[in-house]
Structure 1
């Protein structure tokens, strides 16, 4: 039976309004409205719509997806995002979760180990922090306001046995704790990252077009939402809290404080950033908030970074990718599993799968050969 919710998801995935789709199909706006009202589409026009939307016709005849409200997804930088871009991202997350469900059915993977820390909000204060004598009044106010995410970051590091050491591959760490990480496509440029809980499984969706350092911070930011805001957010400060959590989780206070910079400069920051695998700006901010470098020093470094340009990160690190998905596709390849079986099971294209999986499918498979194989039919 034709499923209009799936048709609507495919439309949103391609970033088309109903009117834009009608124009592409050479039908009236009323025709599209009638489809939604009657839940019926002419087979000939449906075939053309499938070609425009780049979804197999069979995709429109599957079961309902669980409806995802925009407020159920924590978006990074939501304020600069249009509703169309938001809906494009949400549709991608639904497809990724569909792929994740198939993976769960075929592989034995780590169960979620992500604590719910929202109750710590009632227990923290400036008294939780030691050795803050050198912090000036402005920075002390920062800790009074963001002691909750600071304590959450320290608590999670302790729970996961990370100590105070730098984190190597952050995606690998998250996946080892049962968090599924998928990539967003480049047509969702305005979406840095987003996350949500689905059936007690945490998901993070990442735009990999940013610098590697920015991607790591976005991942830590979304992790903050998962552990602090599972039961809803505190209006107005959730994004600031997630940023504070990311800073504290990637650059733990005690370790950073134990390594002061004698002559603060961009050069000295760049030397330190490779240790923590964060951007020079993020490390400068952390040193400043901990009172290790002065406001004047921080401002001077920010100006030098601005002169380099937004995407010209000094001494850049390599992008991380999913080790879990790489192992999944390697195992499938070793078993001579054809990706056409996966595309037939999910009724989405190879390109869609590749885009959601950090292009790992193309690394492990010859996609062109798989594409030709998927087009073959048995007579």
Structure 2
């Protein structure tokens, strides 16, 4: 991603204050922060109640704002939920989001608590983005149909998924060939992309997107760690953002439309059709997957879709493909091997703010009310401390 001009608003980084006493936190306790922390931890009100030795009804009253927890309960809540006590202090900006506004890639497997956890995660991504935007000018949102950003294209995309994909390609000047570095293109046009990995990746939530002041897309890379599936998922979520931003999520028809958008966006029919084999040729399709950045499975589906393969021939090809998954050319390729598919916008924004304003990780964490480790995780920063290894 290129930086042009001086994309910086100079602000002092500030100093980290001493954490307030539990009594002070109790007096300005933010009920919504408790709900957010509970969702992030994936815990029920009953589990929280048992941990701090109150009733589930009491926890419900804390979350509704009817009552505030006693001062001695504040550290217990923080320990139970894995947040600093300053997390519960009111006054910080909130993202008014709920799970009903998010488009989830896996409609059937994502349960209610997993969706709540995912949306709580997005709230933190939004808060981090907002904190960085106070210091660094991020790429403006340049997405037709998106009304929340500071830049309006004046372009209305067609409602047809295929036509919308073609129109967006033309608007972003992507041509008609393969799209390298898909995630970098999304970030360049102002879409916030987060790809949690390791402990903070919920394997049951494949991916989802949501529009709120900025469009935000979360891609769980290590659910399959297959770069081709990952790219298709990114294009699928892009389809939701441009086609379904003003409609309620959860419709299976929307999922089919997002798939159709992704297929045309990544492999335009008029461009890819002359390259597809007239009969099943898995080796040829394996070569094409590296050219177009989509899986052999997707290319087989494309062959069937454009009439090159019958349903029966496609079914036989998928059975044969299943037996080749461990063979060279057919094994999955890790997303980690493709830097252009890994989000960098927020990390680079922090690094620019650190260089220009003296912003430090502890200062940013304090401003957000998070732990330093949580802030580092969401920025995808490497641990800087050297590792001591002891040899017996």
Same fold per superposition (TM over 0.5): yes
How far is the alpha carbon of 1:229 from its aligned partner? 0.9
Note if contact 2:132-2:350 (Cα within 8 Å) is conserved in structure 1: no
Give the match's secondary structure for 1:213: helix
Assess, with a 3 A threshold, how the Cα gap between structure 1 residues 41 and 367 changes in structure 2: closer, same or farther: farther
- Cα distance in structure 1, aligned partners of 2:248 and 2:277: 36
Residues 276-297 of structure 1 deviation map (CA, whole Å, 9 limit, x = unaligned)? 1112111211122112334343
Q: Is 1:170 matched with 2:182?
A: yes
Q: Of the candidates 138, 146, 158, which is equivalent to residue 120 of structure 1?
A: 158
Q: 1:353 to 1:367 in 2, by over 3 A?
A: farther
Are 1:207 and 2:220 counterparts?
yes
State the number of aligned residues: 337
Where in structure 2 are the equivalents of 1:270-289 lying within 5 Å?
270-289=286-305
Task: Tell me by how many angstroms 1:352 deviates.
Answer: 2.4
Match of 2:131 among 84, 88, 102: 102
| d(CA) in 2 for partners of 1:368, 1:55 | 25
Please report how far the alpha carbon of residue 27 of structure 1 lies from its aligned counterpart in structure 2 after TM superposition: 2.8
Report the CA distance between 1:111 and its aligned residue: 0.6
- TM-score scaled by length of structure 2: 0.79
Q: Of Structure 1 and Structure 2, which has the larger fraction of its residues in helix?
A: 1
Describe the SS at the equivalent of 1:194: strand
Pairing 1:1-379 to 2, within 5 Å after superposition:
1-36=28-63, 38-63=66-91, 65-116=94-145, 120-121=158-159, 148-184=160-196, 186-199=200-213, 201-209=214-222, 210=224, 211-233=226-248, 235-307=251-323, 314-319=330-335, 320-332=341-353, 334=355, 337-357=359-379, 360-362=380-382, 365-366=383-384
Displacement, 1:243? 0.8
Unaligned residue ranges in structure 1 (runs of 5+): 122-147, 370-379
1:120 is paired with a residue whose SS is: coil
* Partner residue, 1:374: none
Mean Cα displacement is larger for which, 286-295 or 160-169?
286-295
Identify if the C-alpha distance between structure 1 residues 323 and 184 changes in structure 2 by more than 3 Å, giving closer, same or farther: closer
Q: Distance in 2 between matches of 1:263 and 1:13?
A: 49
Which deviates more from structure 2 when the two are superposed, residues 185-194 or residues 213-222? 185-194
**Structure 2 alignment gaps of length 5 or more:** 1-27, 146-154, 336-340, 388-392
Change (3 A) 1:25 1:239: same
TM-score computed with the length of structure 1 as normaliser: 0.82
Distance in 2 separating the partners of 1:291 and 1:367: 57
Distance 1:272 1:309 in 2: 16
The one-character-per-residue Cα deviations of 1:229-278 (angstroms, maximum 9, x if unpaired) are 11115954111100111111111111111213155222221111001111
Greater shift in the superposed pair: 42-51 or 291-300: 291-300
Deviation at 1:50, TM superposition (A): 0.3
Give the Cα–Cα distance (whole angstroms) in 2 for the partners of residues 167 and 342 of structure 1. Answer: 35
Q: Is the 8 A contact 1:195 1:204 kept in 2?
A: yes
Give the deviation of 1:173 after TM superposition.
0.3
Q: Secondary structure at the match of 1:113?
A: coil
* Alpha-carbon distance in structure 2 between the residues aligned to 1:269 and 1:39: 62
Shift of 1:61: 0.9
Q: Quote the Cα distance in structure 1 between the aligned partners of 2:350 and 2:181.
A: 19
* Paired residues of 2:100 and 2:248 also in contact (CA < 8 A): no
Asked if the contact 2:135–2:353 (Cα under 8 Å) also holds between the matched residues in 1, the reply is no
2:12 maps to which residue? Answer: none
Alpha carbons 2:235, 2:262 under 8 Å: kept: yes
Give the C-alpha shift of residue 119 in structure 1.
6.4
Q: Offset at 1:309?
A: 6.2
C-alpha distance in 2, partners of 1:111/1:182? 17
Deviations 1:1-26 (A, max 9, x none): 11110111001110000001112223
